[in-house]
Structure 1
Amino acid sequence: MSQKKKKQSSNAREFSTLVQRRGTRNMKHKKLSSLSQRTWHVLGSDNLKEAIKCPPAEDMNEWIAANTFDFLNEVNILWGNCIDPEAHNRYLEPGSGFPKGVTYRWSNDQDNLTAPEYVEIALIWVDDQCSNQDIFPDTEKEEVKYPEDFVDNYVKEIFKKLFRVFCIFYWSYKDDMGENVAHLNTCFRHFIYFALHHGLLPDEKELQPIEKIVTRLKSDFARKSVLPSKNDT
């Protein structure tokens, strides 16, 4: 096997191993898990209002936290189980694998990332945020208090990172997913509907790489006439 082939094979295994090691440890709070599972149970029906609205008598921050955990887990599944690891070998050059005309940067000293590297860093970062009990407190304890800036400072940034990962999926990996594209579309529809309903959608500049998909989902969302629950007002 040539050195290039060995490097490519090692690269593919590296990304796969990182995802498997993280697993789904964020679903550690029973109440959050129960709320999140309820969402996906309803999602298969035509009544998406029930899938994205905060249930009566539930705390809004807790509902948003539950779904944030769930979105991270679903994206991890897509990344780790629905994409052939060998597909990463197409994107070995710095700056490769990103949507056309876009390069996502993490910090000034990591400007030369590939798209697979960015996805890994983003998912690990989101995982760390969700595992930080100063941000996502243990709901089994009494008098749980979320940070005052929980949504504006933390959740919105998490949603921006996850949206970028979805952009990379659609631009660079959709053709590798086969029948799993249906699952990608379902996950993204749920993500966009939830973000629209709860004011978590990134700004217009972030939406540009997959603007046509987002515009269509926005139109679908508007036709659903999703009304706010009492907890949403």
Structure 2
Amino acid sequence: MNNVQRTIPPKKMEHLSQSKMRELLTVTIEGSNLREAVKLPPGEDINEWLALNTMDFYKQVRLLCATFENLCTPTTCPIMKAGRYECQWVDVNTGQRHKMGSATEYIGSVMNWIGTHIDNDTIFPKKSGEPFPPNFKDIVKRISRKLFNVYAHIYRTHFLSIVDVKEEAHLNTCFQHFILFMSEYQLMVDEHCMAPLKKLVEIILEP
């Protein structure tokens, strides 16, 4: 990854045929049984299961962003976009939308916002048996939406560069796990938010 030049513009997914794109998007780590992995284990508390997996998804995205940081810079990505869709920061209290500038600025804000929530013991209790807030699932949905936006940017802007360094299996496995979990527990983002990766999500959720 250190050989990737910061000035190289992102390659476009649209240049590939549908069959080739599907082939690249369905490559995953061998032996991954993700449909079973998202199932609630017998006797497990649903909120603790949601919390555990949400923290794991957050860590996965942080690691992905660190791995691909040479691909995504204020120079290559001056605007946080996923294809033709521009991502904006939505204030959860007022509902107002704000432009965040570069993709790195947006992603940094997302990671800090999620990290603050996860570190808050009143939202993500650290001890087993401690109560979760009544709106915990809604909080998880908001976190999931912001993580989805980061994935949308990675796929629509940097995917072919990731294929070049042969990291697509890891990325695809992380994203498929994330989508299958969201689907299993009714955490899916709305149609507008899903639009940049709608076809990929449909592939993942095929029976």
- The TM-score range, normalised by the shorter chain, is 0.7 to 0.9
After the TM superposition, which parts of structure 1 deviate over 6 Å for at least 4 consecutive aligned residues?
A: none
Change (3 A) 1:122 1:87: closer
In our comparison, the structure showing a higher alpha carbon Rg is: 1
Which of 98, 103, 119 in structure 1 is aligned with 2:81? 98
The match for 2:117 is: 129
Residues 106-139 of structure 1: CA distance to partner in whole angstroms, max 9, x if unpaired? 2568425122211111111111111111100112
- Which whole-Å CA distance do the structure 1 matches of 2:154 and 2:126 have between them? 32
Identity, % of aligned positions: 32
Give the direction of change, closer, same or farther, for the CA distance of 1:168–1:46 in structure 2 (3 Å limit): closer
Kindly report which structure 2 residues correspond to 1:128-147, keeping only aligned pairs within 5 A, or say none. Answer: 128-140=116-128, 143-147=129-133
| Structure with more relative contact order (C-alpha pairs < 8 Å, separation 6 or more) | 2
Change (3 A) 1:53 1:103: same
**One-letter identity of the residue aligned with 2:189:** P
Q: Tell me, yes or no, if the aligned pair for 2:34 and 2:176 is still in contact at 8 Å.
A: no
Aligned residues: 173
Gap runs ≥5 in structure 2? 1-5, 8-28
Structure 2 equivalent of residue 163 of structure 1? 148
1:87·1:176 contact (CA, 8 Å) conserved in 2? no
What is the aligned partner in structure 2 of residue 26 from structure 1? none
- Partner residue in 2 for 1:230: none
Change (3 A) 1:126 1:112: closer
Contact between 1:78 and 1:184, CA under 8 Å: does it hold in 2?
A: yes
Change (3 A) 1:165 1:109: closer
Between the aligned partners of 1:185 and 1:114, the Cα distance in structure 2 is: 24
1:180 counterpart = 2:167: yes
Partner Cα separation in structure 2 for residue 109 and residue 150 of structure 1? 23
Given the superposition, is the C-alpha separation of residues 104 and 56 from structure 1 closer, same or farther in structure 2, using an over 3 Å criterion? same
Aligned residue runs from structure 1 range 1-233, under 5 A: 45=31, 47-81=33-67, 83-85=68-70, 87-88=72-73, 89-92=75-78, 96-106=79-89, 110-140=98-128, 143-152=129-138, 154-177=139-162, 178-219=165-206, 223=207
Alpha-carbon distance between aligned partners in 1 of 2:157 and 2:140, rounded to the nearest angstrom: 26
